[in-house]
Structure 1
């Protein structure tokens, strides 16, 4: 069996070491990104919700870039919400700014009651584009 091709963004992200997981795994031309939350570099949650969502997308962008991808390469996204009805408008504004123009990736939103102190999490699958592989 081939060894996992783990992807780590530049800089410190304490959550990866604290919880012992890889930010992403590349398999062929697909990148499977672990759930990204709005954590500060020390792993603690950002208390202000809109900023927490923005940090989750910033952390996701850093992982995608480390894999040679961008939001344009995302084909599937799953988000987890502790209070989806109350959070939807804020999340949508940040999401649409990050994801960009259509066609949009698949999207599944799941309501949960616990995210280890966080209120939002996003995980994605991206396809490494031919332009990234040529670099």
Structure 2
């Protein structure tokens, strides 16, 4: 069982996420490395929205291999290389989580860059399994 933690004694979340997550008995913790917008063939779109979509597709594949899914995510951390990319990232994240009842905790940072100049977004996830 996962519960959102959004105390009324602090400002509400800035977007569609939870300030904190409380979870019940857990069998495994699944932690991804930061996922970049790299397609299986190694290509990377120049479009930040498409990069974010690919990052989340990569996370889906990792979650599937671990035997869990989007509803099992308890935390997302994202990094973008420009403040202007904030809205595109948030839109893709919110679409990706549209069917998830309890939104994970979430952090977004603006960074100076990644290992290759064409990378504009990187996302890492923490999820749980109860098997």
Query: How far does the alpha carbon of each residue in 1:43-88 deviate from its partner, in whole angstroms, 9 at most, with x for none?
Result: 34222221111111111111111111111100011101101x2111
Distance 2:35 2:66 in 1: 15
Size of the alignment, in residue pairs?
103
CA distance in 1, matches of 2:128, 2:69: 9
- Find out whether 1:119 has 2:120 as its counterpart: yes
Which residue of structure 1 lines up, in the alignment, with residue 85 of structure 2? 87
Report the TM-score when normalising by structure 2: 0.72
Structure of higher RCO (CA pairs closer than 8 Å, 6+ residues apart): 2
Name the structure 2 match of 1:64: 63
Match of 1:42 in 2: 41
Q: Is the 8 A contact 2:71 2:102 kept in 1?
A: no
Partner of 1:106: 105
Unaligned runs of 5+ in 2: 1-26
Q: 1 or 2, which has the higher helix percentage?
A: 1
1:53 aligned residue: 52
Q: Aligned partners of 2:43, 2:112: CA distance in 1, in Å?
A: 18
**RMSD value, Cα:** 1.7
TM-score (norm 1): 0.70
Deviation >6 Å, runs of 4+: none
